[in-house]
Amino acid sequence: MIRLDKLVSAAGGVSRQEARKRILSGAVTVDGAVVTQIDFKIDEQRSAVAMSGSALTYRQYRYFMMDKPAGVLTATTDRDQRTVLDLLPEELRRLKLVPAGRLDKDTTGLLLLTNDGDYVHRVISPRHNVPKVYYAETDGMPNEADVRRFAEGVTLSDGTKCLPARLELLPDQAACRVTVREGKYHLVRRMLASCGTPVVTLRRLSIGSLHLDKMLKPGDFRELSDAEVQAVFLDGAPQN
């Protein structure tokens, strides 16, 4: 059960205050009858709610992908710097979305945002083994010996031991693809730096079987379909 003003606000994309105004003005119906009581309790699975004649569909959890641009923090708020949440319109900021995993300030590409805390946990926890694929441009070209080191698990300069990862060389390019299944701080940058080929640009291409939508421009976002929400847990990446 959910309060009518909460449902109207979330499903109608308006503030709680605006939702209350609309309810009091008689614009909202429940199963065809006008309801003006703002704390009226609704069974969101069964009742048909409409505002000004348009049906409102309430979903408790929402999932979005963003093509994160460079120069923006993966955080919900920051005193000084722009965050990925600042790129969303007001009606989506009200949903209390959080990033499911981090990208560094200068890393671009696929970032998930949701208000489903369990989902965030499943995406980032190494226990769930979700592969994340990155495209990196590097200063210098990684080589076959690096591919083997990645497959065995790189040991970083501070002694941190990484899980086995996949390094794919791209012929004749100072660039590569890296697949990791954990989320350590600056992981891909540190792994490639340890091969003597530091990252110049880094972009996340996929999480599980979910690929960044190529139609999105930097800073754009869109809601995921139910199948895409689950695709994150389907292993699209080859094992090492």
Is 189 an interacting residue with respect to ligand URA (CB under 6 A)?
yes
CA 116 centroid distance within chain: 11
Q: How far is the CB of 67 from ligand URA (least distance, A)?
A: 14
Q: What is the DSSP letter of 202?
A: E
Residue 167 corresponds to which amino acid? L
Binding span for ligand URA by CB under 6 A among 89-97, 114-122, 149-157, 184-192? 184-192
φ/ψ of residue 81, rounded to 5: -115, 155
Q: In sequence order, which residues have a C-beta less than 8 Å from that of residue 119 and are 6 or more positions away?
A: 61, 63, 100, 229
Binding span for ligand URA by CB under 6 A among 17-25, 78-86, 102-110, 146-154? 102-110
Is 188 an interacting residue with respect to ligand URA (CB under 6 A)?
yes
Is 187 an interacting residue with respect to ligand URA (CB under 6 A)?
yes
Q: Which of 72, 202, 212, 224 binds ligand URA (CB under 6 A)?
A: 202
Binding span for ligand URA by CB under 6 A among 43-51, 77-85, 182-190, 215-223? 182-190
Name the residue nearer to ligand URA (CB basis): 21 or 189. Answer: 189
Is 182 an interacting residue with respect to ligand URA (CB under 6 A)?
no
Is 186 an interacting residue with respect to ligand URA (CB under 6 A)?
yes
Is 107 an interacting residue with respect to ligand URA (CB under 6 A)?
yes
The answer to whether 44 touches 56, Cβ cutoff 8 Å, is no
CA 29 centroid distance within chain: 34
Burial code (b: 16+ CB inside 10 Å, e: under 16) for 115-132 equals bbeebbeebbeeeeebbb
Count interface residues toward ligand URA (CB under 6 A): 8
